[in-house]
Structure 1
């Protein structure tokens, strides 16, 4: 349980700083939905222009839209993801017979822990996406809803489609996090082991964790962005009276329609915002995770020390 709480706290801390980038990324991923390049108005040219446009039209506070469900999502998703991965690591499941970190096993363990985390945090991610998509009509992209905050949005989803409505879009969230988690944690573990073995920085230095996190962040953006775009589309699309998506029937249908209507580039919409967001978020969450676990270990040791 300790590992789950520490992982959740670390990811929530990172989420607070990177949520504005998440807002920009979400808007850019929904921009030009189901349309070819040149056939829609471009409200957000790049991440910096998105910040300027959102701040000017919706107000500066709009850059933190969806913050509450975003933090709850980070807590539950990454709490289970990082916590499960650490448990697997403590059991030695990500190491070979010689006791060294196995890249292949790390990918599998990272993906498995990501699957659990994505399923647990899915309702919060859905609400986060829908709230972040809300915008002034002048710069609106994607399907627009009028939602009364996180609890109101969850209540609406449950009232309209029951428990199933709370997990709508999870089919896109699970592969998204599995790919991202597998790439992130395996790269981080492998890079950290290499950097420590090379003795570039002193033992226990924060720079070891920071360097490994930066390597991990780049890899995550490369592999995760297409799944991220698909997940955003599935969560935000309108639904019929039966709770089924208007645009996309599911994961594979969404992939096919994006490719057919928007081309290969459609899968990398908002990649700049993803890089600026996922890079810092990966670095911050993993650094916070390592430092939180280190602080907890020290405090636990002090508590267990016998009084003289």
Structure 2
């Protein structure tokens, strides 16, 4: 089994576990990002208050709305990303060794090369998996109950009918809805800000590998073995924290574009594209609009990244040990 495939499968496994642990936070965060209430005087609910409200009004299951396509998307995204990352990383390492032979550099992959490797891997990942995340965003922001404003406008009998749970909003329904709205290319809504957002994992992995390299050198000087799972967990958390703070506004724009567009005729809530969304958000919501739900996202993404890195490293280490062990056992079973 190739090292790229091992890392790809380990990344997928780590991503799934991290997703299962942090998914309710992700659902709440997506709703916060796509909230288009322009009344600033309205008190904003905290993360856990909103989780409780969703569970109370719509059921605990809504906190896991879109979980299955999200797990598929996470496995695909992490698998694709780590697979291509390992391939491009290997090429960068070979190129660095070639430069050292020519008297240029010390033979290690520099920060810029690491950034480019992560960016290329991220672009391929975005182009291949964006349709999955459009479906996930729709399912996370779908509410089983109508908005309070709509109920207030309705007659008493109509309000009772409006509060009745609508038909199931499954993956197939969402796919059909997106296709009816915008055709085939509707599944690539938000792809432009998402492509720009490849800088997030690029920054994340650049910070992670830089810190990991320093940690390995420090442990080597002290005669210690490879970093522990806890150390990997903390490095992953710090790396993701730095990347999230820088790129969060793009994440909000992407969520707005991928969520179901308002059909009430209010142009403030309907976005024609990335630039239109940015301009309308600046005009009607100010800079605050680009940072809605950021505290929730920091908690969710940092925790998810930390778990991902920890689980991935352990899976890679376990897979390599297993393969090496099989090799040893096989050699021992051979007759002299």
TM range (shorter): 0.7 to 0.9
Which residue, out of 8, 22, 39, partners 1:18?
22
Which residue, out of 155, 163, 171, partners 2:184?
163
Alignment partner of 1:180 is 2:200: yes
Alignment partner of 1:4 is 2:27: no
The offset of 1:291, in angstroms, is 1.4
User: Aligned in 2, Cα 1:157/1:206: closer, same or farther, shift over 3 Å?
Assistant: same
Deviations 1:244-291 (A, max 9, x none): x97222222222221222111111111011011100111111112211
Q: Distance in 1 between matches of 2:85 and 2:250?
A: 21
Alignment partner of 1:115 is 2:138: no
Paired residue secondary structure (2:92) = coil
Compute the TM-score of the two structures, normalised by the length of structure 1. 0.86
Q: Distance in 2 between matches of 1:160 and 1:267?
A: 25
The offset of 1:173, in angstroms, is 2.3
The offset of 1:148, in angstroms, is 3.0
Paired residue secondary structure (1:249) = coil
Structure 1: runs of 5 or more not aligned: none
Superposed CA RMSD in Å reads 2.7
Q: Distance in 2 between matches of 1:266 and 1:74?
A: 27
The aligned residue for residue 32 of structure 1 is 36
The offset of 1:168, in angstroms, is 2.6
8 A Cα contact 1:119 1:173, kept in partner: no
Q: Distance in 2 between matches of 1:296 and 1:285?
A: 16
Q: Distance in 2 between matches of 1:207 and 1:112?
A: 29
The offset of 1:32, in angstroms, is 2.6
Aligned residues: 296
The offset of 1:88, in angstroms, is 2.1
The aligned residue for residue 230 of structure 2 is 207
The aligned residue for residue 103 of structure 1 is 111
Comparing 230-239 with 66-75, greater Cα deviation is found at: 230-239
Q: Distance in 2 between matches of 1:278 and 1:46?
A: 17
Paired residue secondary structure (1:148) = coil
Alignment partner of 1:189 is 2:209: yes
The offset of 1:208, in angstroms, is 3.1
Deviations 1:129-184 (A, max 9, x none): 1111012224799xxx97631233224434554432222332232222x0211111
Compute the TM-score of the two structures, normalised by the length of structure 2. 0.79
Alignment partner of 1:285 is 2:308: yes
8 A Cα contact 1:113 1:181, kept in partner: no
User: Aligned in 2, Cα 1:287/1:95: closer, same or farther, shift over 3 Å?
Assistant: farther
Q: Distance in 2 between matches of 1:116 and 1:231?
A: 17
8 A Cα contact 2:230 2:310, kept in partner: no
Q: Distance in 1 between matches of 2:275 and 2:132?
A: 23
8 A Cα contact 1:10 1:286, kept in partner: yes
